[in-house]
Amino acid sequence: MLQLLLTIIALLWAASSVLASDEQDCFQGSEPQQRIKGCTEIIQRDPDDAIAYHNRAFAYGLAGDVDSAIDDYSKVIALAPSNASAYSNRGRAYASKGDYVHAVADETKAHELLSKALAQPSVTTPPSPPKVAKKTAVAAKPPPVVPPKAKAAAPPPEPSNNGGQEPSGGGLWSWLFGGAQAGKDAKP
């Protein structure tokens, strides 16, 4: 029983490393043929994997096999018709062959898809909260204005040496520092 369990674990580990290897080759391979091989393995397991077709098409383009690249980009478009990148890349492949009619058509379609995607609101923004009717508040009466209490007469201001800008016993400095004495101590 233990041997069977260990065998199953070993098989699963080997299979997962093969799958990881194919994905790494397809998406990060340094050589076009390595990428083509890795993507082909993924496509054999999942014939509807548009990303693997897209990466394989790119690798075919790097390898100089423009016709295979066009075929794979066409498959991407069949699987994901709103993939602007596939149209744009297929358009470049057509242009490299001198087929400017198809190249312009694909580039035009790519621009249309991009414009449409940019015009749609972002999916990541949270929906706005529902509108709730606000109750109208009854206008409150303002508090009554109470005149300030009369203060004792202040002594006349002393002459200052501040160039006539502000008397030393009042104004801004007295307000900031709490009175005429503070105003004298804190000159600008």
Q: Is residue 9 part of a domain?
A: no
Q: Which residue has the tokens 């340094």?
A: 30
How far is the C-alpha of 40 from the C-alpha of 166, rounded, in Å? 87
Written as one string, the DSSP assignment of 57-119 is: HHHHHHHT-HHHHHHHHHHHHHH-TT-HHHHHHHHHHHHHHT-HHHHHHHHHHHHHHHHHHHH
Q: The tokens of 56 are what? A: 């394989």
Q: Is residue 163 part of a domain?
A: no
**Backbone region of residue 134 per phi and psi (left: phi > 0; alpha: psi in -120 to 50; beta: other values):** beta
The CATH number covering residue 67 comes to 1.25.40.10
| Residue 127 binned pLDDT confidence (cut-offs 50, 70, 90) | low
Q: The tokens of 106 are what? A: 């694909």
Regarding pTM above 0.85, the answer is no
Cβ within 8 Å of residue 105, ≥6 positions away: 91
Helix or strand (DSSP H, E) at 39: helix 32-45
- How many C-beta atoms lie closer than 10 Å to residue 21's C-beta? 12
162 vs 68, more confident: 68
How much is the CA Rg of the chain, to the nearest whole Å? 39
Q: Is residue 185 part of a domain?
A: no
How far is the C-alpha of 103 from the C-alpha of 62, rounded, in Å? 18
Nearest to 33 by CA among 71, 67, 65, 76: 65
User: Does 138 have pLDDT greater than 80?
Assistant: no
Q: Which residue has the tokens 């706005």?
A: 128
Q: Is residue 90 part of a domain?
A: yes
Q: Is residue 166 part of a domain?
A: no
Helix or strand (DSSP H, E) at 152: none
Boundaries of domain holding 54:
24-119
How far is the C-alpha of 94 from the C-alpha of 84, rounded, in Å? 15
Q: Is residue 88 part of a domain?
A: yes
75-115 pLDDT, tens digit per residue, is: 999 999 999 999 999 999 999 999 999 999 999 999 999 99
89 vs 131, more confident: 89
- Per the structure, how many domains does the chain have? 1
Q: Is residue 151 part of a domain?
A: no
What is residue 171's predicted lDDT score, i.e. its pLDDT?
A: 55
Q: Is residue 62 part of a domain?
A: yes
Q: Decide if 43 contacts 52 (C-beta within 8 A).
A: yes
User: Does 65 have pLDDT greater than 90?
Assistant: yes
